[in-house]
Chains A and B, each alone.
Chain A
Amino acid sequence: MERGATRGDGPIRDPGRLGIGDHACWAYASDAEHQEILSGYLSAGLRAGERLVFLGAQDGYHETVRGALGAGGHDVDRLLAEGRLILGTAEDSYLSDGTFDADARVADYRAMVRRAVDDGYPGLRVAAETNWLLETPHALKTWPTYEFRAEILARRIPFSALCCYDARAWPADELAMLRSLHGLDVRMRHPEEAAGFHLRARSDGGIAVAGELDVVHAELVCQVLTACGEETGAPVLDLTGLRFADVAAMRALAHGARTIARAHGHVALLDGPPILRRLWRLLELDRLVPESHWDT
């Protein structure tokens, strides 16, 4: 059973409600909105006593943060001097040596969170821009997996992330897919409406798949699950919210389940509609993961 989450898997309108354990996507379409949401997210972090990190698209973005926090009565220079606020640029942070190394980034965040806790903060709150990815094809390729590792990470250590996507610059399909890999989505009616499916980390660190998953995203989900299976906090693949899976999707889920089972010695598959189990049998996927792992 999932313990009480600070978040559901639904939409969230007020970024001030985001807290430790949350990994949210935010696609913005105007500069005014940009300032408002960032201000709400970061101010909530200050109220909660957390350490803040903002990684802007370029230095100019820092003025937005200064303006936003300043308007709330905060002394930004003092926050910076005290180490409560860290400003950087996303490109410099994510592309050390000019290449994107997902493992190094995850290790980096783990270290930053540990430092924050050692320094007496309850956790680390990060907001990061993503425009740099559009000019970095090699990073874009592994980014979906990285995003989902961040999703799991937020469930396992005191960390929250707001991933900022400029909807004016991102191709709609790609953005929709990436939104589906965040537990939360700021200002969307429901995350799965974006790409039809939704992948999130449960509060116990297991993985939940919801919506409708077909061949269009099957390969992506297979990549994400097999890359992240070992990092899951619990050996759970929760399909209770999955309304439809086609042949390609079911095979992808089985490969993901097998990765989780290998890492933990077991995986519990939480049942969705009956067609899922039927298809599992038709495809003889119990050869990958025995059917005894299904949990009804």
Chain B
Amino acid sequence: MSQPTLEHDAFFYETDEGFVSALAPFLREGLERDHTTVVATSRARIGLLQDTLADDAAAVRFLPHDDWYTRPGAVIAAWRQLLDESTAEGRPYTRLIGEVRFGDTEAEWASWTRYEGALNAAFRRQPAWIVCPYDLRSLPESVVEEARRTHPTVWEDARRPSDDYQDPAALLERVPEPIPGVEAHPVLHLEIPDGLASVRRAVTAASAGRLSPTRRDDLVLVANEVATNALRHGAGVRRLRVWTLPDGVLCEVTDEGEASPHPLAGYVPPDRLAERGHGLWVARRLCDALSVASTTAGTSVRFVVRG
């Protein structure tokens, strides 16, 4: 038998009964086979599942999704940890139900659509079945359409391969990371010399009074890692620019090189023993938004930290 690999379904439902009647059996089947079973969804739907599963619910791990879906990078890391724990416990397989909290803005929709696409690459080789419920009553049409592109399998009346599935790298290139617009004049503009200390000092100074100490530390670390990449992999003059937002700080690091980072950079968990690749992985988990754009003029990385 070949090794089981990732199954990633978009499950479309229009009624609570439809939700429960498909997903409760999905969980029960998992429990019968000694699979790890985890559900992240709203408290209301957690209640529905618990009522239906009755005593069996005790063996399922429930995560209220208001606390779970914080930032795409952080959620991928949290799922990975969960999958690793499952393997470490000797479970053969993991079944996850993850109902993304898509939010109310187009920026959030894009950000979580990118997350859904990236999951296919991040957990490509995991023995896991991830089912993502989409509530057709409340979600905008565009989000539902994208779900057909971010999931290899769709589950409506029956499970079947999605005709519209798009390769994750292509999807992430097509759907750009939403990033706030900026005013013409940054509060800070700096050419990055060889040392990174000047970047850290500049970002610390520019974020004074705008961010909590914890979020300022996060921003300084992210700026350091992005600047490290620019110095290592970029070319020409590397620049740092910083703008303040009403609720946070936006930074941009540019270089004049032709090397363009892979669209999935920072989304796919690096091998823990690998020497490289951890910087962007950590940056994606700490930032509220991080976008990478490559043009003929070079590469530009913009990132936002709020709060």
Contact = CB atoms under 8 A, between A and B. Distances in A.
Interface of A: 196, 212, 214-216, 244, 246-248, 251, 273-275, 278-279, 282-284, 287
Interface string B184-206: 00000000000111001000000
Contacts of B232: 215
B228 A246 contact: yes
B144 interface: no
Interface stretch (B10-18, B158-166, B216-224, B298-306): B216-224
Contact of B285 (A212, A273, A282): A282
A193 B119 CA distance: 44
B65 interface: no
Contacts of A215: 196, 228, 232
Contacts of B225: 246-247
Given A216-B196, A246-B196, A274-B214, A251 B228 contact: no
B224 to A, nearest CB: 5
Q: Chain B interface: which size bin?
A: 20 to 34
Interface in B205-235: 214, 217-218, 220-221, 224-225, 228, 232
A246 B225 CA distance: 7
Given A214-B224, A246-B225, A247-B282, 13 more contacts: A196-B195, A214-B196, A214-B197, A215-B196, A216-B196, A246-B224, A247-B221, A247-B225, A247-B279, A248-B279, A275-B214, A275-B218, A278-B217
Contact of A244 (B200, B272, B282): B200
Contact of A279 (B77, B195, B214, B282): B282
Nearest to A249: B224
10 contacts: A196-B195, A214-B224, A214-B228, A215-B196, A244-B224, A246-B221, A274-B214, A282-B77, A282-B285, A287-B272
Nearest to B194: A216
Contacts of A196: 195, 197
Contacts of A283: 278, 282
Nearest to A222: B275
Dominant secondary structure of chain A at its interface with chain B = helix
B272 A284 contact: yes
B221 A279 contact: yes
B64 to A, nearest CB: 22
Contacts of B224: 214, 244, 246
Nearest to B74: A282
Contacts of B196: 214-216, 246
Contacts of A284: 81, 272
Q: Looking at A246, A251, A274, A279, which has the most chain B CB atoms within 10 Å of its CB?
A: A246
Minimum-distance CB pairs A-B, first 9? A275-B217, A247-B278, A246-B224, A214-B196, A247-B279, A215-B228, A282-B282, A247-B282, A196-B197
Contacts of B285: 282
A56 B196 CA distance: 37
Q: Looking at B197, B278, B285, which has the most chain A CB atoms within 10 Å of its CB?
A: B278
Contacts of B77: 282
Nearest to A287: B272
Nearest to A211: B197
A287 B200 CA distance: 28
Nearest to B214: A274
A278 B286 CA distance: 11
A286 to B, nearest CB: 11
Contacts of A275: 214, 217-218, 221
B72 to A, nearest CB: 15
A212 B198 CA distance: 12
B282 A216 contact: no
Contacts of A246: 196, 221, 224-225, 228, 279
Nearest to A214: B196
Interface in B79-114: 81
Contacts of B195: 196, 216
B217 A251 contact: no
A247 B218 CA distance: 12
B214 A244 contact: no
Nearest to A215: B228
B278 A251 contact: yes
B238 to A, nearest CB: 14
Contacts of A287: 272
A249 to B, nearest CB: 10
A216 B217 CA distance: 19
Nearest to B270: A283
Contacts of A282: 77, 282, 285-286
A215 B278 CA distance: 12
Q: Looking at A212, A275, A278, A282, which has the most chain B CB atoms within 10 Å of its CB?
A: A282
Given A214-B224, A283-B278, A273 B217 contact: yes
Contacts of A251: 278
Nearest to B196: A214
A126 B224 CA distance: 41
Contacts of A214: 196-197, 224, 228
Nearest to A212: B197
A278 B285 CA distance: 12
